[in-house]
Structure 1
Amino acid sequence: MKRNIAVVWGGYSSEIVVSAKSMAGICSFLDEEKYNIYKIRITKEKWTVEVGGYVYTVDKNDFSYICPISDQRIYFDFAYIIIHGTPGEDGRLQGYFDMLGIPYSTCGMMASALTMNKFICNNFLKNFGIRVADSLYLNKDTKYNLRGIEEKLKFPLFVKPNTGGSSFATTKVKAVDQLQQAIDAAFGETPDVIIESFISGREVTCGCYKTKDKEVVFPITEVVTPNEFFDYEAKYEGQVEEITPARISGEMTDEIQRLTRKVYDLVGAKGLIRVDFIISDNQPFLLEVNTVPGMTQTSFIPQQIAAAGLDIKEVLTEIIENEFNAI
């Protein structure tokens, strides 16, 4: 009997538009001969499932819905979470599925909560010898001085939503008179903000996944954009050149892949993750860890899977079946 796979998308943040694209990608990649695929949309207002062009309400008590044609309650065997941002990338949804005993595709609750918080995650990994940018953390109650920020981090610097992604409300700030506006924009996205020193170099990203029987680290992608940085337009509107494998030395390739494996283990990752780095003066600095990486047809992970000579349908099947075998 075919298992019911819920592709869970949507979310509570601006990244819902990216989630919609990733959901379409995942649905096209999954094995329809092996699984029944359902699209579950989660927003603050409601949870729904789309079936045959009709939309039905999902019962949050047991993650099911009633099919009006057969009057049967349909349960889902597995959740493929493709919500970027809250509640799918920060541990909230993972805790929900843990309580229901439903296996899912991503890292667990604790790893998701850790990696979603850029400031805490980077400082955690810094303790294990991984290089990261100097940074400051602000929340709504933090008293800060713009000149003090300038003295500590210098210009240019980056202001980002601390628990956001897809470069929404991320600003490269070159002068103090631009700083407050950038901080306000980031606070408009999330309740806390990270300010990071600028590191000049070559940006690369590396994907990885592990199952009970094996570990796979993908070829590295180099990111080249004419924009000030790898912003939303570069990520999703084609203003970028993505080169896989990256044009870096064999030694640096080995080092980036080693660090990706190390990060995977240190944060307690599960499923597919992607780790972003910038190489400066022949030293890799970690930018961030993505536990729900984009999965459109042209996203980094599908590109890297193809460059590795692997079939994405088989990779996703491995990840799903590994979770069933772990039960």
Structure 2
Amino acid sequence: MQKKKVALLYGGKSVEHDISIRSAKNIFEAADKEKYQIYCIGISTNGGWYLTNEVSNDITKGLKLSLQLHNGQMSFSTSEEENLIFDVAFPALHGTDGEDGNIQGLLEVTGTAYAGSDVMGSSIAMNKFFTKQILEKQGIPVCDYLYFTYQDDPEFEFIKDKLGLPFIIKPINLGSSVGVSKVKSKSEFKTALKEAFKYDNEIIAEEFVEARELECSVLVENNEIKASVPGEIVVEKEYEFYTFQAKYVDSKAARLEIPASLPENIENTIKHLSINAFKAVGCQGFARVDVFYQEDQGMCYVNEINTIPGFTNSSMFPMMWKHDGYTFTSLIDTIISEAIYRFERKTRLKTNFNSGLE
């Protein structure tokens, strides 16, 4: 059997560049080398594309790539090779230009199969404001929130009256808790705004909910949308929420419990909400849905949808599927197989129309 050529895209012009490298290293190591020939394509922080022998922290030491079209397909050339064409791309890019629909748009218009959500699903899920609006319309519970742009002049008292204290300030289009602050007083407000607007021109203020922080993974396999067993993030008391430091730097900051200890009806509710949220924003392939569970109220709120969740050693997405019987290798295989199937299904559609016009 001829191996499928897979372009593993990693790095990127994103504040989550380093996290992407960690994810891509695990994907590269886990991919079935009997079935796939993996080409590591690193995108530097300056936006240059490089072919690297393996997933590397020093992307620019690779061979510089030139993008071109070859018979309508995306291909690359280096100083050593021309017309390097892939069967499928696996974007392991987190955040800006990777998870927001931009790279998906490039892959779409160049006729390339790719893993994960398409342009629409990616761009909606990346935008926390649009995601919340759509989920609300679909009757999926979300926390109260307010939307602001850089041109606005958000007032502390207005937000406090609407959301109470404390509240969360976060950029609209970022992940990994970058630029996120918990505001408990007026003295913290301006610093929180400055931090969020450093990374985005749009932000949301969000009600802080005292709740258990849960995650549920979603996967498409053989046309079936599946939800994994939910997992729980138990953050140490010294952290006020699941910060970037707690996620990726301090190995003792949080404990991951898989499966989460939940009543059966709540577990089923979380799975149901996760699949419905996945469908509502138009996700495809795979995603991770973050949920708050207010135990005393018996309420679950969908917080965010991550269309390219982490594949790092501390990431919940592969851990939850491991509990449900998927090895890292079989998980990657399922994701790539679904991407190829979806692309082949799409190619049956006509893209021209005989109008009879001259």
- For normalisation by structure 2, the TM-score amounts to 0.87
**Structure 2 equivalent of residue 149 of structure 1:** 159
* Whole-Å separation in 2 of the counterparts to 1:251 and 1:114: 29
Are residues 1:220 and 2:230 paired? yes
* Whole-Å separation in 2 of the counterparts to 1:322 and 1:106: 9
Letter aligned with residue 68 of structure 2: N
* CA deviation profile, 1:245-278 (whole Å, cap 9, x unmatched): 0011111000000111111111111112000011
* Whole-Å separation in 1 of the counterparts to 2:68 and 2:166: 49
**Structure 1 equivalent of residue 348 of structure 2:** none
* Whole-Å separation in 1 of the counterparts to 2:302 and 2:22: 26
Secondary structure at 1:61 match in 2: strand
Find the structure with the greater CA-based Rg: 2
* Whole-Å separation in 2 of the counterparts to 1:45 and 1:98: 19
Letter aligned with residue 98 of structure 1: E
Q: CA deviation at 1:68?
A: 4.6
1:126 to 112, 136, 139: 136
- For normalisation by structure 1, the TM-score amounts to 0.95
8 Å CA contact retained: 1:150, 1:176 = no
Secondary structure at 1:60 match in 2: strand
The sequence identity of aligned pairs, in percent, is: 29
8 Å CA contact retained: 2:67, 2:76 = no
205-214 or 218-227, larger mean C-alpha shift: 205-214
* CA deviation profile, 1:30-72 (whole Å, cap 9, x unmatched): 1111111111112443111113796112223344333555x44
8 Å CA contact retained: 2:99, 2:123 = yes
Q: CA deviation at 1:4?
A: 1.3
Letter aligned with residue 223 of structure 1: I
Q: CA deviation at 1:305?
A: 1.3
* Whole-Å separation in 1 of the counterparts to 2:96 and 2:328: 26
Q: CA deviation at 1:321?
A: 1.8
Q: CA deviation at 1:234?
A: 1.6
Letter aligned with residue 132 of structure 1: V
* CA deviation profile, 1:111-136 (whole Å, cap 9, x unmatched): 11101000111121011111111111
Letter aligned with residue 299 of structure 1: S
43-52 or 286-295, larger mean C-alpha shift: 43-52
Q: CA deviation at 1:213?
A: 3.7
Secondary structure at 1:297 match in 2: coil
8 Å CA contact retained: 1:209, 1:271 = yes
8 Å CA contact retained: 1:57, 1:65 = no
2:67 to 50, 56, 60: 60
1:207 to 198, 201, 217: 217
Mapping for residues 61-140 of structure 1, pairs under 5 Å: 61-62=68-69, 63-66=74-77, 68-69=79-80, 71-140=81-150
Give ranges in structure 1 of 5+ residues lacking alignment. Answer: none
Secondary structure at 1:83 match in 2: coil
* Whole-Å separation in 2 of the counterparts to 1:266 and 1:36: 34
Q: CA deviation at 1:316?
A: 1.8
Are residues 1:243 and 2:257 paired? yes
Q: CA deviation at 1:146?
A: 2.0
* Whole-Å separation in 2 of the counterparts to 1:145 and 1:72: 56
* Whole-Å separation in 1 of the counterparts to 2:308 and 2:193: 25
Are residues 1:317 and 2:333 paired? yes
2:301 to 266, 285, 291: 285
**Structure 2 equivalent of residue 231 of structure 1:** 243
Letter aligned with residue 270 of structure 1: Q
Give ranges in structure 2 of 5+ residues lacking alignment. Answer: 345-358
Letter aligned with residue 269 of structure 2: E
**Structure 1 equivalent of residue 34 of structure 2:** 33
* Whole-Å separation in 2 of the counterparts to 1:105 and 1:199: 33
8 Å CA contact retained: 2:136, 2:142 = yes
* Whole-Å separation in 1 of the counterparts to 2:64 and 2:86: 14
Letter aligned with residue 323 of structure 1: A
Letter aligned with residue 5 of structure 1: V
Q: CA deviation at 1:211?
A: 3.0
Mapping for residues 163-174 of structure 1, pairs under 5 Å: 163-174=173-184
Secondary structure at 2:219 match in 1: strand
How many positions carry a matched residue from both structures? 326
1:304 to 301, 320, 326: 320
Letter aligned with residue 162 of structure 1: I
- CA-based RMSD: 1.6
